[in-house]
Homo-oligomer: A and B are copies of this chain.
């Protein structure tokens, strides 16, 4: 194994880049702008320029670089073919092959950004003691990734790890972003928690400080109030925990992972959230799966560059 590798996490606004020792030590990280105009035709060459500049600055020769891992905001097949990245303006092509040909023929591996972040957490974050983890990212939406034997499960169309679109509620009338109704994302994302809070307020006369926030209430407000003992906020957290915990039980019945790792903005609620979810999980899961660990993610926004590096060196 050569001494260095790069991890690249491409978003719609910025590209995060990390220079790593192949052992997993992050030496330096920086960002460049994502130029999405003209179908994102500059994105890969901008990345190459930035990597070349870094190698020159640090006086690292190409011979010392194992390769470049890259995470992308769209479905990516195991061979590095990206099916479509709407946010980047890209269609379908083999991004691993293309970037390799543009960057001195070095080894390049590509993956979906959520899956790659899961790999990062499995490598150096909340899941680093486990081979088989399921990561669930609670952000604006709910995403995730499945890591088995230390490798990403990609799925046939790159659609594995779309945990936010597990069906959890037959009664839902509002349509999810995916076009279906009753997806986990509609209750366990930041907007999902707000939806549950709003519904709770409309359905009850219960005194709760949540009312003071009105329509501006955020998921963070709900969790802060719940921690402070507000009964209504705790009822909302419990609902959210029910949806998430039962989804985890269903995942466990299929995969029996060693650990679940919970990340994303909503997970800033910390151990309080983990406890709420873990209780439901323990009550509803198949007995053999009851000892799965449930941990917070640890790498935050850096999970993507760690995971991209892991594509190369893990």
Contacts and interface: CB of A to CB of B under 8 A. Distances in A.
A157 B289 contact: yes
Q: How many copies are assembled? A: 2
Interface stretch (A4-12, A100-108, A186-194, A280-288): A280-288
Interface residues of A, number: 42
B288 A256 contact: no
A210 B132 CA distance: 46
B286 A159 contact: yes
Nearest to A247: B250
A310 B182 CA distance: 39
A167 interface: yes
A141 to B, nearest CB: 12
B255 A146 contact: yes
A179 B283 CA distance: 10
Interface in A226-247: 246-247
A155 interface: yes
- Most B C-beta atoms less than 10 A away, residue of A178, A286, A289: A286
A246 B158 CA distance: 20
A287 B64 CA distance: 42
A252 B250 CA distance: 12
Nearest to A171: B170
B156 A249 contact: no
A247 to B, nearest CB: 8
Contact of A286 (B154, B165, B252, B254): B165
A132 to B, nearest CB: 6
A80 interface: no
A257 B155 contact: yes
A34 interface: no
A43 interface: no
A250 B159 contact: no
Given A157-B289, A167-B284, A289-B157, A253 B148 contact: no
A256 B167 contact: no
Given A250-B166, A286-B180, A287-B179, A257 B156 contact: yes
A98 B286 CA distance: 29
A143 to B, nearest CB: 11
Interface of A: 75, 132, 134, 146, 148, 153-167, 178-180, 246-247, 249-258, 284, 286-289, 291-292
Given A148-B153, A155-B289, A162-B288, 20 more contacts: A132-B156, A146-B254, A154-B256, A155-B255, A155-B288, A157-B256, A157-B289, A158-B288, A159-B286, A159-B288, A159-B289, A162-B289, A163-B253, A163-B254, A166-B249, A166-B250, A166-B254, A167-B284, A179-B287, A255-B255
Identify the 9 closest CB pairs spanning chains A and B, nearest first.
A155-B256, A159-B288, A159-B256, A165-B286, A166-B250, A160-B256, A156-B258, A165-B253, A162-B253
